[in-house]
A and B are shown apart, each in its own frame.
Chain A
Amino acid sequence: MSTLNLTPTVYEAIRSHGEETYPHECCGVLLGRPGAGGWAVETAVRAGNTRTDSAHNRYHIDPRELVKIEREARGQGLGIAGFYHSHPDHPAQWSPTDFAEAHWIGCSYVITEVAQGKAAVTNSFLLAGATEEDKRFQQETILVA
């Protein structure tokens, strides 16, 4: 099982974002550096959820915002390690929609269950595989240190 390394600050930032946007889904980008033991995430950047029509059960990051985030990350020597979003009042497990719309192979998709406004379980899933046709989610260990 692969490992996603988060600092306590990043871990709490992800979870508190989900609490703030409850009952809507939050979303954001994880920036870090690749290492032998998996990505080491240094920063969680909040992104707007453009799905204002259905924010309680969908999220979408404006690609223009993502372009901006990625360019700024490059300037700091960081890369996109993955993304996070919340599941209000639902388990921290990927949904069929999460899978169908996941395209960043090799990156981590972190999901936090927010139960009645409080962050509960946080899980991470590596989008493994080599192509769209054989991609799959593999649960990975989140190491907070």
Chain B
Amino acid sequence: MTILIPTPLRPYTGGKDAVEVAAANVAEALAALTQAHSDLRKHLFTPEGKVRAFVNLYLNDEDVRYLPAQQATAVTAADTLSIIPSIAGGLCNNGTALAGPSGATR
């Protein structure tokens, strides 16, 4: 199957934006990926071996967390697994933002 690597993790795959692995399920695919590119491990997993909370895994168009078998879901060579870190933020409740100078240059 194909694992799509997001921009921040490409330094750990030799610059590759996609990695092909042979695996029977999602967990095996991740194991194969981190075996081939061991520096990825700490970016994807907690020290306890769980996928970091901010790392989203999509098998084709489905969030792996919501698949019945989750990471035990079977995969085929034609499947694509996307690794997508979450995107969020904002001022939050106290409206705090640090003051400072700047602006764009034209």
Binding site for B on A (CB under 8 A): 6, 8, 11, 25, 27, 29, 51, 54, 56-61, 63-64, 66-67, 70-71, 74, 79-81, 83, 85, 87-88, 90-107, 109, 121-123, 131-132, 139, 141-145
Contact = CB atoms under 8 A, between A and B. Distances in A.
- The A interface is mostly helix, strand or loop, or mixed, namely mixed
B97 A83 contact: no
Interface in B49-106: 52, 54-56, 58, 61, 63, 82, 84-93, 95-100, 102-106
B103 A121 contact: yes
Contact of B58 (A67, A83, A90): A67
A51 B90 contact: yes
Interface in B24-53: 42-43, 52
Contacts of A87: 90-91, 97
Give 8 closest A-B pairs by Cβ, nearest first.
A58-B90, A98-B89, A97-B92, A142-B104, A103-B85, A57-B91, A60-B88, A63-B56
B58 to A, nearest CB: 5
Nearest to B90: A58
Contacts of B17: 74, 79
Contacts of A67: 58, 61, 82, 84
Between A29, A51, A83, A97, the greatest number of chain B beta carbons within 10 A of the residue's beta carbon is seen for A97
